[in-house]
């Protein structure tokens, strides 16, 4: 009862704050009650009040969705955001808006339902029902978010002016101009809420464990699917109405957990109230600042800015090492045959030659010999820096990924998942957009600073030998969310700065200076050589701390050395090319799948794969949409995401995911 | 002491001689861009503009272009002055296609604003001129005029450039008189906006290219937007509710009209209720020097049409 009162007090306090800032200054309560006040009263009744109502509805819907998902998964990190529901719904809507605008305008909810449901179902199926309480499912969700984010960026680049308005909305903005949306959303939330609250009794049974619940005659699988479907519905409805506000669904159930409520019904109810209160409170920031800032602050960004640090705190309080679990990707070969190794190594020069040789033309790709002889040398001299930069970026990211996967003993670790990429990107975005520094001169130092800051944070968290690696991955996830909030904020700002930033954010190689390409190559070769030199450390570290220490390895020193290598690789790629997602995740895994078992072999093979991936992406980006060019990083994200989910689904089909 | 004094004077003279900053040099084939003086032996004939405002400048100067970045986007968003037929598409403005550029064998590439860092890359292909058109720390409209004049001089069209600017100023002055008569000498405050969607709006203010058009017509800006690089503020539509009087003009196209204009909130907006809300035909608000005149013309046309009703 006490906790219910507390939640209600929180809701009323937040509502009061929201309306206090939202109400026009010249409006008194007497005016409102006396039906006077003229237009200021209209602004209150048709603007401020519907906005508060919308915050309550969306917050309640997401809070309930998050609580229900956590009841089913028993995972304090599962939520509509971390399971990819929000990004799935949002990407589907973005695609529909571009390719079928009429459909998107009239059936937004169904499109969001389809996209959100599809991605969530995919992630839960791939992770496996039994492991929903661990980190695996969350990391898969983050990988899906990265991939879908890449899709969104490619779409935005190809439709720059048209989509920029959509991105504003994508960041989640609660502005209202009447009661149309609240009255549309209210019944949806109400129906789903009643259904979910009615299911609280069987959900209580579920908590006893799947076996016991089934023993008492409960159909656990249909129940889980039903609850998930309702949660997806709640999320899709709010995305369709106000855009991608997601973090509330993660914060609300964890706020309730702090209260220590026992009954499932109360947990769901309080999660709903806490969600409404949390969104009201975070949305008060943009409302309060509306008159002071030149630009609009998306509600979703302010929610993420507060939610991301909350996520780290929650993770550190509740994630225990034994819960984290390791995750094995399916279908690996046992050993690597020498011919295969030669083939992979030979692929690098071959793709590089193809990438330098082929160019785009209005009639499709053409070989260099078709160019006028006088221009050939010039053409080649324009192409090689891009190809070299792509190759070096791929090598560096793959090496960083291989090191991290061994270090953290998690095949889903990579610089982007861990937040090193986000840290460096974050620093550049802050330097360019907030501090107004020129991008060209400040990119390298900012990126280095950002990567090192994350490195420092990781080293700090990892001072104790028994800190589970999964906590570091969570920190990365939170950092990535912070970055997303900031980038959305930047894109919402409009103007050409945002567009330039967007191009850079996708990892573009087409305008790389020859000197930069050479510098990047030197860095990536140095990092790869250093890692190869220290391969014994990697081998020992991947056996586990205890084994490594028993063999006389200075764990902390080795870890720190490896982290320095990772941050050098990541920072140089980001500074000279831009953030490249997925290469660091995909290449080391593909190498292991092909049978590269020893640390040295895995480093070399994954570097070769990363190199080929980025060079191929560079070539595709250059010729596929001629004369428009798509950044190599964006294409690599698409290839990488398709590969990851392809492999996971294939593994499922072969029922080889027993290791889960 | 005497030799020292002479030395001092000499130093001062040399120092100042080294750092003069005229907007353009006296020699016809020297032009000052954002990086300093650029020298040319002949007037470029195969010119490429990778920035829409620069393309606008050249079309207004009647200098033939051979290629632009994203002509489709130009036609959709800028539209006036119309692009000549047969221009080659060089890709998006923030990712111009170097190879296609090379195939065209240009002898001048025009860049602006954020394309600055790429200048050295383009210089491998052809001489480059890069101008900082939009900056927070200068007057964007004044800068556009300077660049327009400098380009006119550079392409041997000094008289044309001067005439077009003078024509524009005269025309704005004439429209001002026309407006003044129509409004009996009491001109309204005017707020110029572009809707991003049905809930969010871009409001133009200090240092925007439309501000000098408003001021030139004798109108006062209605919504205070402080100086910034692009001269705009991005706000929820409810922010327009703070406008107590004056006219609001919105730039077409706005595809979600029905979703906004039908709401009770919008119908109650003081300027809507008073019938002081009008559409402006498509207008590129980040354009070249003559875009100020075009903006002034459409604003005057719209307001005059409104007063006649």
Q: Which residues of A touch B200 (CB under 8 A)?
A: 165, 168-169, 173, 175, 296
Give the range among A53-62, A378-387, A575-584, B103-112 with minimum mean pLDDT. Answer: A575-584
Find tokens 């207004």 and name the residue. Answer: B60
Of the spans A76-90, B147-161, B252-266, which averages the highest pLDDT?
Answer: B147-161
d(CA A247, CA A242): 14
C-alpha dihedral, A223 to A224 to A226 to A229, nearest 10°? 170
pLDDT score recorded for residue A320: 52
- Over residues B249-303, the pLDDT tens digits come to 999 888 888 889 988 889 989 999 999 999 998 888 899 999 999 999 999 999 9
Buried b (16+ CB within 10 A) or exposed e, A566-600: bbbbbbbbbbbbbbbbbbbbbbbbbbbbbbbeebb
Q: Is A497 on the interface with B (CB under 8 A)?
A: yes
d(CA A103, CA A109): 10
The region that residue B56 occupies, defined by phi over 0 for left and psi between -120 and 50 for alpha, beta otherwise, is alpha
CB contact set of B43 (below 8 Å; sequence gap of 6+): B29, B154, B155, B156
Whether A437 shows a pLDDT value over 80: the answer reads: no
Judge whether B131 and B23 are in contact, CB under 8 Å.
no
Residue pairs spanning A and B at CB distance below 8 A = 160
pLDDT score recorded for residue A571: 85
Residues 179-208 of A with CB under 8 A from B: 180
Give the residue from A67, A61, A91 showing the smallest Cα distance to A79. A67
| Whole-Å CA distances, B25 to A205, A503, B28, B133, B151 | 84, 35, 8, 19, 12
Judge whether A575 and A444 are in contact, CB under 8 Å.
yes
Of the spans A83-87, A395-399, A656-660, B132-136, which averages the highest pLDDT?
Answer: A395-399
Query: Any bridge partners for residue B112, and if so which?
Result: B131
CB contact under 8 A, A161 and B114: no
Judge whether A96 and A240 are in contact, CB under 8 Å.
no
d(CA A391, CA A610): 8
d(CA A595, CA A618): 27
Q: Report helix, strand or coil for B199.
A: coil
Count of C-beta atoms within a 10 Å radius of residue B80: 15
pLDDT score recorded for residue A262: 84
Count of C-beta atoms within a 10 Å radius of residue A110: 14
d(CA A481, CA A145): 10
d(CA A85, CA A272): 18
**Minimum-distance CB partner of B92 among A46, A157, A378:** A157
Residues 513-542 of A with CB under 8 A from B: 513
**Residue A544 vs residue A602, higher pLDDT:** A602
Whether B8 shows a pLDDT value over 60: the answer reads: no
Q: Which residues of B touch A40 (CB under 8 A)?
A: 241
- Over residues A440-484, the pLDDT tens digits come to 667 777 887 888 787 777 777 766 656 666 677 667 777 777 776
What are residue A168's phi and psi, to 5 degrees? -60, -45
**What's the gap between Cα A290 and its chain centre?**
28
Arithmetic mean of pLDDT, A94-109: 83
CB contact under 8 A, B199 and A173: yes
d(CA A462, CA A460): 5
pLDDT score recorded for residue A162: 56
Q: Which residues of A touch B194 (CB under 8 A)?
A: none
- Over residues B92-107, the pLDDT tens digits come to 888 889 889 998 999 9
pLDDT score recorded for residue B56: 95
Substitution target in A156, A439, A496, A576 with the highest count of B β-carbons within 10 Å is A496
Whether A522 shows a pLDDT value over 90: the answer reads: yes
| Helices marked H in chain B | 2-18, 52-60, 71-77, 98-103, 119-122, 140-154, 158-182, 211-216, 257-261, 264-268, 270-273, 291-308
Residues 23-82 of B with CB under 8 A from A: 73, 76-77
pLDDT score recorded for residue A465: 58
Q: What percent of chain A has pLDDT over 90?
A: 26
Q: Which residues of B touch A48 (CB under 8 A)?
A: 238
Arithmetic mean of pLDDT, B161-184: 95
d(CA B80, CA B75): 8
Arithmetic mean of pLDDT, A174-198: 92
Judge whether B164 and B145 are in contact, CB under 8 Å.
no
Mean model confidence pLDDT for chain A: 82
Confidence of residue A133 (pLDDT cuts 50, 70, 90): confident
| Whole-Å CA distances, B224 to A127, B142, B201, B241, B249 | 54, 20, 14, 13, 15
Q: Positive or negative CA dihedral for A568, A573, A575, A578?
A: negative
- Over residues A24-67, the pLDDT tens digits come to 877 777 777 766 667 888 888 888 999 999 999 999 999 999 99
pLDDT score recorded for residue A153: 74
Give the range among A125-134, A361-370, A485-494, B41-50 with minimum mean pLDDT. Answer: A485-494
Q: Is B225 on the interface with A (CB under 8 A)?
A: yes
CB contact set of B137 (below 8 Å; sequence gap of 6+): none
Q: Which residues of A touch B114 (CB under 8 A)?
A: 439, 496-497, 499-500
Whether B16 shows a pLDDT value over 80: the answer reads: no
**Minimum-distance CB partner of A294 among B77, B89, B233:** B233
Distance from CA of B249 to the nearest CA of A (A): 19
CB contact under 8 A, A296 and B234: yes
| Whole-Å CA distances, B222 to A376, B214, B244 | 57, 10, 9
Give the residue from B40, B110, A353, A388 showing the smallest Cα distance to B101. B110
| Whole-Å CA distances, A285 to A18, A19, A177, A292, A306 | 8, 12, 19, 11, 11
**Minimum-distance CB partner of A161 among B73, B95, B266:** B73
**Minimum-distance CB partner of B236 among A175, A378, A439:** A175
- Over residues A3-26, the pLDDT tens digits come to 889 899 999 999 999 999 888 877
Find the closest chain B residue to A45 by CA distance.
Answer: B265
CB contact under 8 A, A46 and B97: no
Structure tokens at A288: 């309060």
Structure tokens at A512: 């790389």
Substitution target in B51, B78, B92 with the highest count of A β-carbons within 10 Å is B92
Whether B29 shows a pLDDT value over 80: the answer reads: yes
Q: pTM, whole model, 2 decimals?
A: 0.85
Structure tokens at B283: 């207008």
pLDDT score recorded for residue B71: 93
- Over residues A262-297, the pLDDT tens digits come to 889 999 999 999 999 999 999 998 888 877 777 777
Judge whether B48 and B71 are in contact, CB under 8 Å.
no
Judge whether A355 and A619 are in contact, CB under 8 Å.
yes
**Residue B209 vs residue A424, higher pLDDT:** B209
Distance from CA of A446 to the nearest CA of B (A): 17
Confidence of residue A533 (pLDDT cuts 50, 70, 90): very high
CB contact under 8 A, A360 and B97: yes
pLDDT score recorded for residue B9: 54
Find the closest chain A residue to B204 by CA distance.
Answer: A294
**Minimum-distance CB partner of A493 among B234, B237, B286:** B234
Please report how the helices A583-593 and A632-653 are oriented relative to each other, as an axis angle in degrees rounded to 10. 40
Judge whether A298 and A285 are in contact, CB under 8 Å.
no
Q: Is the ipTM of this complex over 0.95?
A: no
The region that residue B252 occupies, defined by phi over 0 for left and psi between -120 and 50 for alpha, beta otherwise, is beta
Residues 153-182 of B with CB under 8 A from A: none
Task: Characterize the bridge pairing of strands B88-89 and B220-221.
Answer: unpaired
Please report how the helices A495-505 and A439-461 are oriented relative to each other, as an axis angle in degrees rounded to 10. 60
Give the range among A41-45, A406-410, A471-475, A644-648 with minimum mean pLDDT. Answer: A471-475
pLDDT score recorded for residue B52: 93
Structure tokens at A178: 């009447």
Arithmetic mean of pLDDT, A211-220: 80
CB contact under 8 A, A497 and B114: yes
pLDDT score recorded for residue A541: 80
Whether A497 shows a pLDDT value over 60: the answer reads: no
CB contact under 8 A, A46 and B91: no
d(CA A104, CA B88): 33
Arithmetic mean of pLDDT, A481-495: 64
d(CA A220, CA A222): 6
Query: Any bridge partners for residue B201, and if so which?
Result: B195, B235
CB contact set of B152 (below 8 Å; sequence gap of 6+): B61, B158, B160, B161, B162
Q: What percent of chain A has pLDDT over 70?
A: 85
Judge whether B81 and B59 are in contact, CB under 8 Å.
yes
Whether B17 shows a pLDDT value over 60: the answer reads: no
- Over residues B212-261, the pLDDT tens digits come to 999 999 999 999 998 888 888 888 898 898 888 889 999 988 888 888 99
């Amino acid at each position: 009862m006490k906790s219910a009162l507390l939640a209600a007090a929180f809701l009323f306090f937040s509502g009061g704050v929201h309306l206090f800032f939202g109400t026009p200054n010249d409006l008194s309560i007497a005016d409102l009650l006396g039906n006077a006040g003229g237009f200021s009263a209209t602004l209150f009744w048709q603007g401020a009040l519907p906005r508060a109502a919308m915050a309550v509805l969306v917050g309640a819907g997401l809070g309930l969705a998050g609580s229900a998902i956590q009841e089913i998964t028993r995972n304090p990190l599962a939520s509509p955001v971390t399971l990819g529901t929000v990004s799935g719904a949002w990407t589907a809507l973005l695609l529909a808006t571009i390719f079928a605008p009429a459909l998107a305008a009239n059936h937004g909810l169904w499109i969001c339902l389809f996209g959100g449901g599809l991605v969530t179902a995919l992630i839960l199926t791939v992770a496996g029902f039994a492991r929903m309480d661990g980190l695996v499912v969350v990391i898969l969700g983050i990988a899906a978010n990265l991939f879908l984010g890449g899709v969104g960026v490619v779409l935005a680049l190809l439709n720059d002016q048209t989509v920029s308005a959509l991105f504003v909305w994508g960041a989640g903005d609660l502005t209202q101009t009447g009661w149309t949306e609240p009255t549309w959303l209210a019944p949806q939330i109400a129906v789903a809420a009643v259904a979910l609250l009615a299911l609280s009794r069987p959900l209580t049974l579920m908590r006893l464990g799947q076996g016991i619940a089934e023993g008492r005659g409960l159909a656990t699988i249909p129940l889980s699917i039903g609850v998930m479907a309702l949660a997806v519905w709640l999320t899709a409805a709010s995305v369709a109405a106000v855009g991608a506000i997601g973090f509330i669904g993660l914060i609300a159930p964890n706020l309730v957990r702090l209260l220590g409520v026992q009954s499932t019904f109360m947990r769901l109810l309080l999660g709903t109230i806490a969600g409404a209160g949390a969104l009201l409170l975070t949305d008060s920031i943009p409302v309060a600042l509306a008159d002071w800032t030149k630009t609009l602050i998306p509600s979703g960004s302010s929610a993420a800015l507060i939610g991301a640090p909350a996520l780290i705190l929650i993770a550190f309080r509740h994630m225990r090492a034994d819960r984290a679990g390791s995750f094995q990707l399916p279908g690996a070969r046992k050993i690597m045959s020498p011919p295969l190794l030669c083939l992979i190594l030979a692929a690098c020069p071959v793709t590089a030659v193809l990438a330098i040789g082929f160019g785009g033309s209005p009639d499709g790709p053409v070989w260099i010999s078709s160019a006028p002889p006088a221009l050939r040398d010039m053409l080649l001299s324009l192409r090689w820096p891009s190809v070299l930069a792509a190759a070096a970026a791929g090598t560096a990211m793959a090496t960083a990924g291989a090191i991290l996967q061994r270090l953290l003993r998690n095949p889903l670790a990579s610089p982007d998942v861990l937040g090193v990429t986000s840290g460096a990107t974050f620093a550049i975005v802050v330097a360019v957009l907030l501090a107004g520094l020129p991008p060209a001169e400040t990119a390298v130092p900012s990126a280095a600073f950002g990567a090192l800051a994350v490195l420092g944070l990781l080293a700090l968290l990892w001072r104790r030998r028994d800190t589970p690696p999964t906590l570091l991955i969570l920190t990365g996830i939170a950092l990535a969310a912070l970055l997303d909030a900031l980038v959305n904020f930047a894109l919402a700002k409009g103007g050409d700065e945002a567009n330039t930033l967007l191009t850079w954010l996708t990892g573009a190689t087409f305008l790389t200076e020859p000197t930069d390409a050479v510098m990047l190559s030197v860095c990536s070769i140095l990092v790869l050589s250093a890692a190869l030199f220290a391969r014994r450390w990697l081998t020992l570290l991947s056996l586990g701390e205890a084994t490594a220490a028993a063999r006389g390895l200075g764990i902390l020193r080795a870890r720190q050395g490896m982290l320095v290598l990772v941050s050098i690789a990541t920072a140089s790629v980001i500074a000279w090319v831009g953030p490249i997602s997925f290469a660091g995740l995909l290449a080391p895994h593909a190498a292991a799948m092909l049978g590269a078992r020893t640390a040295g072999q895995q480093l070399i093979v994954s570097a070769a794969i990363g190199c080929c991936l980025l060079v191929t992406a560079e070539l595709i980006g250059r010729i596929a949409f001629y004369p428009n060019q798509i950044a190599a990083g964006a294409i690599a994200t698409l290839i990488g995401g398709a590969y990851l989910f392809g492999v996971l689904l294939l593994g499922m089909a072969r029922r080889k995911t027993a290791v889960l | 002491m005497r030799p020292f004094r002479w030395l001092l004077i000499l130093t001062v003279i040399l120092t100042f001689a080294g750092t003069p900053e005229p907007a353009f040099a006296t020699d016809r084939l020297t032009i000052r861009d954002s990086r300093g003086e650029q020298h040319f032996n002949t007037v470029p004939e195969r010119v490429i503009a990778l920035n829409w405002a620069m393309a606008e400048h050249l079309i207004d100067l009647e200098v033939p272009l051979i290629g632009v970045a994203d002509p489709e986007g130009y036609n959709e968003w800028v539209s006036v002055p119309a692009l000549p037929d047969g221009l080659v598409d060089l890709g998006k403005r923030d990712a111009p296609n170097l190879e296609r550029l090379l195939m065209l064998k240009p002898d001048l590439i025009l860049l602006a604003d954020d394309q600055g860092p790429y200048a050295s890359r383009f210089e491998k292909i052809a001489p480059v001129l890069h101008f900082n058109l939009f900056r927070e720390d200068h007057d964007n409209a004044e800068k556009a005029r300077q660049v327009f004049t400098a380009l006119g001089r550079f392409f041997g069209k000094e008289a044309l450039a001067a005439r077009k600017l003078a024509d524009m100023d005269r025309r704005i002055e004439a429209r001002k008189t026309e407006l003044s008569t129509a409004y009996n000498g009491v001109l309204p405050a005017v707020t110029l906006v572009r809707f991003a969607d049905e809930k969010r709006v871009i409001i133009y203010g200090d240092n925007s290219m439309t501000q000098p058009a408003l001021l030139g017509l004798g109108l006062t800006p209605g919504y205070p937007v402080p100086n910034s690089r692009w001269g705009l503020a991005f706000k929820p539509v409810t922010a327009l509710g703070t406008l107590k009087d004056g006219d609001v003009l919105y730039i077409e196209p706005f595809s979600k009209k029905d979703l906004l204009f039908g709401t009770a909130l919008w119908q109650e907006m003081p300027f809507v209720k008073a019938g002081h809300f009008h559409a402006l035909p498509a207008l590129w608000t980040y354009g070249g020097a003559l875009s100020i005149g075009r903006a002034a013309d459409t604003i005057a046309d719209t307001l005059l049409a409104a007063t006649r009703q």
